[in-house]
Structure 1
Amino acid sequence: MFTDTRAYSGIAVRDLAAARQFYGEVLGLRTSEDHGNLWLHLAGGRDTFVYEQPTATPASYTVLNFEVDDVGAAVGELTARGVRFQRYDGIEQDEHGVVRGQGPDIAWFTDPSGNVLSVIAADA
């Protein structure tokens, strides 16, 4: 039924202006607005819809994974831009919050609404 139907993901955020600044300026993604909502234009034509919902509960699971060649370098650059990386009990992470040697290198962080994002090794 939906074989040839265009589909896209959506992320609820509490503050669209904060999301626009974070995704566009901090992460450096191409963005656009449509009818008061935000679109993230991701590589490979995988656009993601971002809409404001002031009472939204942040996703506690990873909603976007950004594939990078060097997770450590990406963590360093994002840290310099003010991004703080998550720490999880029971998961061994290095001093920068990167999980290594348990599958692809990965580190998690959140957007201003608390939705979980990651940088993950591209060879995943």
Structure 2
Amino acid sequence: MFTTDHAFSGFSVDDIDAARQFYGETLGLTVRDNPMGFLDIGLASGAHILAYSKTNHEPASFTILNFPVADIEAAVDDLNARGVTTKIYSDDEFPTDHRGILRGEGQGPDIAWFRDPAGNVLAVMQDDALSG
């Protein structure tokens, strides 16, 4: 019978070792190798994401993973200190500040995007419910 109890998402990368280092060491997520040579990326929520190597990988043209944060300013500063670039779009694409933060100004949350080593897009976004 079809069930959704153990559903998970996945995405491709072009270098599994670079992905292991980025998601595990740079972002601090739990990363395990699975028996098929893929990465099992664990999130604090208990969810898991599968990252797999693909020879003809093309970076996702959309955000593959969002990280809600209590303080986007602090999160962007922390990512930048870890060597992650958060200003990835031109102002013609998205009018962001010098650190790459797009201000929602009532139209949505403040958000900043960044890329993994394979070029996939990730984001941190302000979630006021987390601030207390």
Question: Fold conserved (TM > 0.5)?
Answer: yes
Provide the C-alpha distance between the structure 1 equivalents of 2:31 and 2:81, rounded to a whole number of angstroms.
22
Q: How does 1:41-120 map to 2 (within 5 A)?
A: 41-85=42-86, 86-88=88-90, 89-100=92-103, 101=105, 102-120=107-125
Unaligned runs of 5+ in 2: none
Q: Choose 95-104 or 107-116, whichever is displaced more.
A: 95-104
Closer, same or farther: CA 84–4 of 1 in aligned 2, 3 Å: closer
Deviation digits for residues 68-116 of structure 1 (CA, Å, limit 9, x no counterpart) = 1111111111111111121242422111100112410100000000000
TM-score (norm 2): 0.87
TM-score (norm 1): 0.92
Percent identity over the alignment is 51
Cα distance in 2 for residues equivalent to 1:19 and 1:54: 14
**Aligned pairs, number:** 124
How large is the Cα RMSD of the aligned pairs? 1.5
What is the match of residue 27 of structure 2? Answer: 27
Residue 5 of structure 1 and its aligned partner are, at CA, apart by 3.8
Q: What displacement does 1:4 show?
A: 4.1
Q: Runs of 5+ in structure 1 lacking a partner?
A: none
Distance 1:45 1:87, change over 3 A: same
Please, which moves more after superposition, 14-23 or 1-10?
Answer: 1-10
SS of structure 1 residue aligned to 2:7 = coil
Q: Which amino acid aligns with 2:31?
A: T
Dislocated runs of 4+, deviation >6 Å:
none
Question: Which range moves more in the overlay, 89-98 or 50-59?
Answer: 89-98
Using the alignment, how far apart are the partners of 2:60 and 2:23 within structure 1? 16
